Copies of this chain bind each other. A is one copy, B any other.
Amino acid sequence: MTEEAGGRTGAVMAAIRQRLAAGRLAPGERLPSIRGFAATMGVSPSTVVEAYDRLAAEGLIRARPGSGFYVSGAVSPLALTEAEPRRERAIDPLWVSRQSLDAGPDMLKPGCGWLPAEWMPNTAIRRAVRGLAQAGEAVLTDYGATRGALSLRRHLVRRLAGEGIEAGADQLLLTASGTQAIDLIGRLLLRPGDTVIVDDPCYFNFQALLGVHAVRIVGVPYTPTGPDLQAFAAALAEHRPRLYVTNSALHNPTGATLAPQIAHRLLTLAAAHDLTIVEDDIFADLEPEPSPRLAALDGLARVIRIGSFSKTLSASIRCGYIAARPDWIEALVDLQVATSFGGPSPVAAELIAGTLADGSYRKHLEALRRRLSRARREATARLEPLGIKPWIVPRGGFTLWCRLPEEQDAAVLARAGLAEGLVLAPGNVFSVSQTASGLMRFNVAQMTDPQVYEGLTRAMARTQPAAAPPSTPSP
């Protein structure tokens, strides 16, 4: 984007840079006059103006109105090299996030929680971006409405209607991200010291986020068909939680699917204990067939639906949403204005709406599901010789929650993996009870490169206890 100017303008810029580097132009000194330098360089005065303007935009030189351009006095050659070292800090819920987000292009990321860029609907996004370049001035520069772009809210109303949820315009709020949606809900409904139930295991950032709210986090074991209801009921009775935060559709990290009976009984329990449920629908579009939704059964009475477009459309065009009771939305609007002065970038919401309206998005999803299905089979087959076995085979999505060979500790392996250029997601970052040290979450879409398995093999060999050398023949 911020590309260097080419051609003649670039040549003039390069000539000035050279003089600066050689000390022939000192800080505070006046630059050659535009006419004079145009003659020197054999270009038109307007080319020199363009070059000076660009150098001024970079801060290297400064314009003094009516007096010409001067070398900036204070600019030091700040390299701004990316001085962020790989962190060796303890494996906490933020570890995988930061490792994944800040990983250089040389790292492989079988532990990260999103799809590779080339799996996303780039053609449709580019079309939407080109459309944005023609949009009205208000779209490009104004603050948006407090509830977010109408075009995208319309899409979400239709989508919810398709699930059987009749949400009105006053029940939808766009947010800067799915995470921020939960954060706002937390600010509305939680007070320090409250208790919140999460699944064990659950998406690790739920823990980091709830930690910011200074609440007590209680984990309830997650089974292949949903939360363990006996444990759930016990947690309700013992802790009187204010909130339960969970993934619908494909559960993170297990890839499990909520069974209809579990969903119904869960809502009955929630009603009996006046529990509010936040249902994060972020993986919905990766499902081959729709699975039960708490918000659909409940009708947005005590369930708050949130979601985003980061997993199937773009994580760079950030946008999330909340569907909830009108009075809660009204309060959330105030909270979002107070803390962010609005929701997502209005241009982001327009780009999302534009991409979704493109007829190709449905085909993108179909192709994506097929591709994921193949990748899942392939990863499962290639992990098998390493003794790494899926806990369940998910119906869709990209996560594979796997049991490691008995002698392996996932956290130790994740650290060894980092040295091999792999970002891994060790089980215990997902587990409130810290009972997942023998499990690891893999992302099958990030494992098409054979180097993932080679690195994993080396890391496992290094972390295996010396007592059981790999050379010992098995009986």
What is the interface of chain A, defined by CB distance below 8 A to chain B? 1-3, 50-54, 56-60, 62-63, 65, 72, 74-76, 78, 80-84, 94, 97-98, 100-102, 114, 117-118, 120, 122, 125-126, 128-147, 150-151, 153-155, 157-159, 161-164, 166, 168-170, 176-180, 183, 187, 192, 205, 208-209, 211-212, 310, 313-319, 333-335, 337-342, 344-348, 350-351, 353-354, 356-363, 366
- Please measure, in the bound complex, the distance between the C-alpha atom of A94 and the C-alpha atom of B179, giving whole angstroms: 24
With both chains docked as a complex, state the minimum distance between the C-beta of A182 and any C-beta of chain B, in angstroms: 9
With both chains docked as a complex, state the minimum distance between the C-beta of A174 and any C-beta of chain B, in angstroms: 12
**22 pairs of residues in contact across A and B, judged by CB atoms under 8 Å:** A1-B131, A3-B131, A53-B362, A54-B359, A57-B357, A59-B155, A59-B161, A74-B164, A84-B147, A84-B169, A84-B170, A94-B338, A120-B140, A138-B316, A140-B316, A143-B316, A144-B316, A179-B338, A183-B340, A211-B338, A318-B346, A344-B345
Q: Judging by beta carbons under 8 Å apart, are B140 and A122 in contact?
A: yes
- Please measure, in the bound complex, the distance between the C-alpha atom of A75 and the C-alpha atom of B158, giving whole angstroms: 6
- Please measure, in the bound complex, the distance between the C-alpha atom of A356 and the C-alpha atom of B58, giving whole angstroms: 8
Of B53, B74, B143, B310, which contacts A162 at CB under 8 A?
Answer: B74
Of B1, B132, B158, which contacts A135 at CB under 8 A?
Answer: B1
Q: Judging by beta carbons under 8 Å apart, are A141 and B122 in contact?
A: yes
Q: Judging by beta carbons under 8 Å apart, are A1 and B353 in contact?
A: yes
Nearest B-chain residue to A360, judged by Cβ: B53
Nearest B-chain residue to A210, judged by Cβ: B338
Nearest B-chain residue to A154, judged by Cβ: B80
Q: Judging by beta carbons under 8 Å apart, are A338 and B102 in contact?
A: no
Q: Judging by beta carbons under 8 Å apart, are A101 and B342 in contact?
A: yes
With both chains docked as a complex, state the minimum distance between the C-beta of A156 and any C-beta of chain B, in angstroms: 10
Contact of A177 with B72 at beta-carbon distance under 8 Å, contacts A1-B354, A53-B363, A363-B53 already known: no
With both chains docked as a complex, state the minimum distance between the C-beta of A44 and any C-beta of chain B, in angstroms: 15
Nearest B-chain residue to A78, judged by Cβ: B157
Contact of A56 with B359 at beta-carbon distance under 8 Å, contacts A120-B141, A344-B345 already known: yes
Nearest B-chain residue to A83, judged by Cβ: B169
With both chains docked as a complex, state the minimum distance between the C-beta of A79 and any C-beta of chain B, in angstroms: 8
Contact of A50 with B347 at beta-carbon distance under 8 Å, contacts A126-B133, A158-B59, A169-B80 already known: no
